[in-house]
Structure 1
């Protein structure tokens, strides 16, 4: 009944075929894909590709049980079964229409023996699973909007030594466009900056870390990135009450930011005082707390790159691997506009910085961004 009430189209992604709402038909009617009866976003393919690679790694390590708490069409879950050869996959969505289509897609790909489908609220399902002692090596949390309301429940069903994958599509709050929402959802104080995409990554990591501590767990970031309209992060989940103090002392910090584009970071648990900008003399804004440690594990990324099923995903991972581990980046276009000069090539500026003894690299987050230990004043001297 549902299949003819909703206009469906057959899609293919990776090695999987699946039905979803006909996006072309929606477009003709002037309706956004976000309003589809069965949600499917083709732009999230890189997100799903990397999740397939992560599940391949876990499968090789003998960790073969995964759950997608908000599965929509089920394409992600089914790809784990088909492409990652995961033994036990659980695909859940609270939308009964979506759950019906997931079952249809599971049968289409002949993985009924490995993919279980349920139609429940994510929080209710995690409570039930916790009650009967079912946990997973891989838990994927990919909601529409903020993951904040669902994070604590998701952590309850990750096995120790397993991975929690989190997507945030509410980038406006995370990137500081709506400071009050950023504070309300993620307990981070901040504003819009030129390095807003990386600030969003680090704010999300801080939030997940603090949510994990409430369960006496440690959420260690293995990989985090910003792509298109979302932020994505993978965490290794371990018992961590004893290690927590060391982790936050080494990796938590604050940012003093000035509207002129200058900033400095302080590694500290307690907030430092606000300072005066050395360039323009303005009072700088204190932002944080955020994660200022590394958001990538090089060995983990190397293993993913061997397994990732698409060149686009490999490029993002390569860009991440090549980044230096220094918080935030300079925007070449912004500095060039202030200096009233043509914006130079990123590689050329990186070379100049290295020649002068600074560490420097591109950033995966922005095409004209440079990560470096040179401050803004030094960047201006190099570009002038």
Structure 2
């Protein structure tokens, strides 16, 4: 048989689902789970859509999970899943249930997990409320969305129907996709007297992955859940709170802003936790993941949007400026600025678009 290797495990795919290009997301999940395991007495993982079982294997072998429940709704992958998971010597459970039934069963039996991984295809919305029912307080939810057309603003009506938010198209729309997922999950958690706290957020090749921590409701929901305004006339971005929706105009053009939302406006990442993940990635000799995690730490805490160098060049009617030179100049001018993992040709900064454009023109 044709066996594959990823991380420390080998496995077969056969007729089961496996996307090799998603290894980055799996690597980050394994790192986060391993850090969690180092700080807790045990790690129990619920892999709701196991596919060929590579995530389940890696959580058990690399993250040192004590127990893995691997589930895939397609019973036809049972032979390959059973073959791959046999390496775990009985420290697992295998089922073929629809994900919602899986989560409901966990809730009914009060069987809560430290990490619930939902690697769905298409919309994440059907699982937003249900996955909370299987997650331990303080545990992690690792959620996937692949409906980039919807959350990136190309079908705002569908976005409203599936996520309860109106997503519009603009240059930073892929970051918006991450924020819509987090915000929608946050809204579901609030209804249950809980909140979620982002651990990290990853956009890669039209796939949105967010890992969040489930916690008791102790923060002001409205302060971190609001609207993003964009001016198509001049490129200006600003966040807009619920109390100021009637005043959402561009300070430069005095035109109404195009609003997307509501969505999560807080940090996409938890820098202290990412620092622990970075240390572990260094020990494991994963230099590419170290670079990614360091970039995530740098962009954490910056405004919930970015400016692309292409947009700066277009609006400034100039040759496209070099991103790194603009970032350096912004920092020298007293602004915070960073690259972003979401777009390799974009800048996150505390400067306004107008200020960024002025600095870019001088480069």
TM-score of the alignment, normalized to the shorter chain, above 0.5: yes
Name the structure 2 match of 1:71.
50
SS in 2 for 1:273: helix
Name the structure 2 match of 1:255.
228
Name the structure 1 match of 2:288.
312
Name the structure 1 match of 2:79.
100
Q: CA deviation at 1:217?
A: 1.5
Q: CA deviation at 1:65?
A: 0.5
**1:208 is matched with which residue: 164, 182, 185?**
185
Provide the rounded CA distance (Å) in 2 between the counterparts of 1:276 and 1:136: 45
SS in 2 for 1:184: helix
Q: CA deviation at 1:301?
A: 0.3
Q: CA deviation at 1:117?
A: 0.9
Provide the rounded CA distance (Å) in 2 between the counterparts of 1:173 and 1:328: 18
Name the structure 1 match of 2:173.
196
Is the Cα contact below 8 Å between 1:53 and 1:84 reproduced in 2?
yes
SS in 2 for 1:272: helix
**2:13 is matched with which residue: 20, 23, 27?**
20
Provide the rounded CA distance (Å) in 1 between the counterparts of 2:276 and 2:96: 34
Is the Cα contact below 8 Å between 2:149 and 2:155 reproduced in 1?
yes
Q: How many residues align?
A: 356
Q: CA deviation at 1:278?
A: 4.3
Provide the rounded CA distance (Å) in 1 between the counterparts of 2:99 and 2:34: 25
Provide the rounded CA distance (Å) in 2 between the counterparts of 1:263 and 1:190: 17
Provide the rounded CA distance (Å) in 2 between the counterparts of 1:250 and 1:213: 13
Is the Cα contact below 8 Å between 2:25 and 2:202 reproduced in 1?
no
Q: CA deviation at 1:265?
A: 2.5
Structure 1 gaps of 5+ residues are 1-7, 22-36
Provide the rounded CA distance (Å) in 2 between the counterparts of 1:255 and 1:150: 25
Q: What aligned pairs does 1:39-188 form with structure 2 within 5 A after superposition?
A: 39-61=17-39, 62-107=41-86, 110-188=87-165
Name the structure 2 match of 1:322.
298
Name the structure 1 match of 2:331.
354
SS in 1 for 2:324: helix
Provide the rounded CA distance (Å) in 1 between the counterparts of 2:143 and 2:296: 18
Q: CA deviation at 1:313?
A: 2.5
For residues 346-382 of structure 1, the C-alpha deviation after alignment (integer angstroms, 9 at most, x for no partner) is 1110121122222211111111111112112212222
Q: Does 1:268 align with 2:241?
A: yes
Provide the rounded CA distance (Å) in 2 between the counterparts of 1:198 and 1:170: 13
Q: CA deviation at 1:267?
A: 5.0
Is the Cα contact below 8 Å between 1:151 and 1:211 reproduced in 2?
yes
Provide the rounded CA distance (Å) in 2 between the counterparts of 1:294 and 1:162: 19
For residues 116-171 of structure 1, the C-alpha deviation after alignment (integer angstroms, 9 at most, x for no partner) is 11111111122122222211111111101111101211110111111111111111
Q: CA deviation at 1:274?
A: 5.5
SS in 2 for 1:277: coil
Provide the rounded CA distance (Å) in 1 between the counterparts of 2:100 and 2:300: 38
Is the Cα contact below 8 Å between 1:70 and 1:92 reproduced in 2?
yes
Provide the rounded CA distance (Å) in 2 between the counterparts of 1:281 and 1:272: 14
Q: CA deviation at 1:69?
A: 0.2
Name the structure 2 match of 1:238.
215
Name the structure 2 match of 1:29.
none
Q: CA deviation at 1:198?
A: 1.1
Q: Does 1:369 align with 2:346?
A: yes
Q: CA deviation at 1:89?
A: 0.6
